[in-house]
């Protein structure tokens, strides 16, 4: 039995030696360029969280830029609406000014018409020949009783 145990131990020692050699060969294989190129994706997997963080940061920056662009668009729309409102207010003011001018012109025309009417009445009723008014037969009693001159 001792022999068998020694033989078995000898076999185990040889197997361990072979395993040790296999491990060395595996380590040497891992250092070879083709294996290193295969391992590079593994190293990239270790770097993947950094890339994910960088991608997330880039996405957040893009979202922030989009929000700023949207805010600028809203501000531009508000500016356009304010400009349209200002244009409408200017149009309303111009319309009001036109109406006021028309009213003033109508009042002036009415005043001129009133003056002309009063002058015509005075001239028709007056016997004063120096203004070229019509003489109604020299009877100036109506003019003396009703002084149209003071109406002007």
What is the dihedral sign for C-alpha 15, 20, 26, 32? negative
Domain spans of the chain, in order of start: 32-151
pLDDT tens per residue across span 90-123: 888 888 888 888 888 888 888 888 888 877 776 6
In the predicted structure, residue 5 carries a pLDDT above the cut 60: no
pLDDT class of 21 with cuts at 50, 70, 90 = low
> What is the structure's pLDDT at 105?
85
Over residues 58-64, mean pLDDT: 74
> What is the structure's pLDDT at 120?
73
How far apart are alpha carbons 37 and 40 in whole angstroms?
Answer: 5
Task: State if pTM tops 0.75.
Answer: no
Residue linked to tokens 């070879």:
32
pLDDT tens per residue across span 68-89: 777 777 878 888 888 888 888 8
> What is the structure's pLDDT at 52?
59
Average pLDDT for the chain: 66
Question: What's the length of the chain?
Answer: 152
> What is the structure's pLDDT at 146?
52
How far apart are alpha carbons 136 and 108 in whole angstroms?
Answer: 32
Give the highest mean pLDDT range of 10-14, 24-28, 86-90, 118-122.
86-90
Identify whether the C-beta of residue 143 lies closer than 8 Å to the C-beta of residue 151.
Answer: no
């Amino acid at each position: 039995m001792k022999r068998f145990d020694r033989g078995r131990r000898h076999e185990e020692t040889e197997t361990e030696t072979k395993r040790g050699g296999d491990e060395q060969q595996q380590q040497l294989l891992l250092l070879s360029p083709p294996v290193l190129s295969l391992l590079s994706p593994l190293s990239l997997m270790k770097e993947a969280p950094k890339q994910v963080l960088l991608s997330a940061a880039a996405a957040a920056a893009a979202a922030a830029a989009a929000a700023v662009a949207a805010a600028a668009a809203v501000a531009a729309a508000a500016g356009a609406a304010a400009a349209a409102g200002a244009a409408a207010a200017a149009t309303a003011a111009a319309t009001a000014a036109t109406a006021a001018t028309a009213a003033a012109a109508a009042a002036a025309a009415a005043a001129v018409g009133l003056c002309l009417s009063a002058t015509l009445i005075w001239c028709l009723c007056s016997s004063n020949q120096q203004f070229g008014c019509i003489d109604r037969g020299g009877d100036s009693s109506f003019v003396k009783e009703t002084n149209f001159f003071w109406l002007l």
